[in-house]
A = this chain, B = another copy of it.
Amino acid sequence: IQRTHLSHNMAKEVASYTDVANQIIKLVLSGSAQKRSYERLSNFTDAIGNRVSGSHNLELAIAYMYNAMSQDGLDVHLEPVKVPHWVRGEEGAEMVLPRPKTLAMLGLGSSVGTPPEGIEAEVVVVSSFEDLKSRGANVSGRIVVFNQPFVSYGETVAYRAFGASEAAKLGAVAALIRSVTPVSINSPHTGVQDYQEGVRRIPAACITVEDAQLMARMAARGQRVVVRLNMGAKTLPDADSFNTVAEIRGWQHPEQVVVLSGHLDSWDVGQGAMDDGGGAIISWEALSVIKDLGLRPRRTLRAVLWTAEEQGGVGAQQYYQRHKANISNFDLVMESDLGTFAPVALQFTGSPAAQKVMQEVVQLLAPLNTTRLEPHGEGTDIGPWMQAGVPGASLHVEDDRYFWFHHSEGDTMSVQSPGAMDRCSALWAVVAYVVADLQDMLPR
């Protein structure tokens, strides 16, 4: 009975935010903040372009956001992070036999380069790690082409991540991995790869679905396929970078925080508009909207624009190390890193009691038609907090096409729409504000 009573009070408390939620949504969907998320994202990514870890562009991006959010009237500061500094250099690949053909390619993050004269070798095409192992003796001295089918990003990305070392164990001289995407217009997709300790480091690049399939057909016919690969990639000493942090300080419990986040770095192709400019911008925008309405919650709202996510959540890891002593004050960590297309639902991980609260909170999103709370809120950058028990939320959007563009030259403003971004920002603002303003922190 006590529990039911509490629940009832909680539901009533959350429901009391209906008016403020409606105000937020109205300001974003049809008020002065309409289309502002898209404008901010396009102003930012058109001006800077892509911004890979360690690059001058990433420095420019951090300075840009520091200035923009400061001018917006938020409390902004930078927190230093040491980040990997991999540079692509000049690169290219061509099939030499059975006929000459340029192969569209992108070296993979952390890959070593080739010798200056390049690597020219016969190709062995495999369709899986098992297939690779079955070729055992035929791999030595060869370039391994991984032509794995696309199953899902989560499953198939293993080839991009571990293909080079698995091939190197059998003596391969380089690895070319079919891009991890369900749809291709001869478009290569980059991303990070991981060398295994104690295994020789060989150059690794992604090629297109089309070229991987072409070489697979040729090899299946018994044709000898030879490829020349040139990569000027190298890893420089770690660089200085920053997580960019903007706040609206809570009036009652300023030490308690709701984190809204996205990462500011991207790959060195496209504009990094989708991955993850959009997530960074809506995290800023949510604070702007709350400020524009003259609102100030009990707890602190903190937008964190992570650095070096693409290198393995580097900025977020260092942030966690720096702030984990304070973990009891982290109310909710939110991350948007799967696109800012039309929102579908809020994904949430937390205790059953916390889920009950969030179940009420998402009812406030009825005007956005996104009142569904889904399990499994997750994300590279909020992962450390969630693993330590902090409730986590992430944005589920209409992401059918996300991996078509992910880590490719196609990740540009052209995939974004103002209306969808407005809806993401409104959702983000309502959830963050209400959670930050409730009497109690979310139950762990």
Contact = CB atoms under 8 A, between A and B. Distances in A.
Nearest to A48: B99
B410 A101 contact: no
B185 A47 contact: no
A187 interface: yes
A42 B187 CA distance: 20
A271 B101 CA distance: 11
Interface string A258-271: 00000000000011
B184 A214 contact: no
B412 A186 contact: yes
Contacts of A409: 104, 185-186, 210
A49 interface: yes
Contact of A210 (B210, B217, B412): B412
A209 interface: yes
Interface in A181-199: 183-187
Please tell me how many copies of the chain the complex holds: 2
B414 A209 contact: yes
A408 interface: yes
Interface string A386-404: 0000000000000000001
| Residue of A48, A186, A413 most packed against chain B (CB within 10 A) | A186
A49 B271 CA distance: 32
Contacts of A221: 43
A242 interface: no
Given A413-B217, A414-B209, A414-B210, A49 B99 contact: yes
A49 B101 contact: yes
Contact of A410 (B98, B186, B408, B413): B186
Given A46-B214, A48-B99, 13 more contacts: A46-B217, A183-B185, A185-B187, A185-B408, A185-B409, A186-B412, A187-B410, A209-B414, A210-B410, A210-B412, A210-B414, A213-B413, A214-B271
Interface of A: 42-43, 46-49, 98-99, 101, 104, 183-187, 209-210, 213-214, 217-218, 221, 270-271, 404-405, 408-410, 412-414
23 contacts: A42-B217, A46-B217, A47-B98, A47-B99, A49-B99, A49-B101, A184-B410, A185-B187, A185-B405, A185-B408, A185-B409, A185-B410, A186-B270, A186-B410, A186-B412, A187-B187, A210-B409, A210-B412, A213-B414, A214-B271, A214-B412, A214-B413, A217-B413
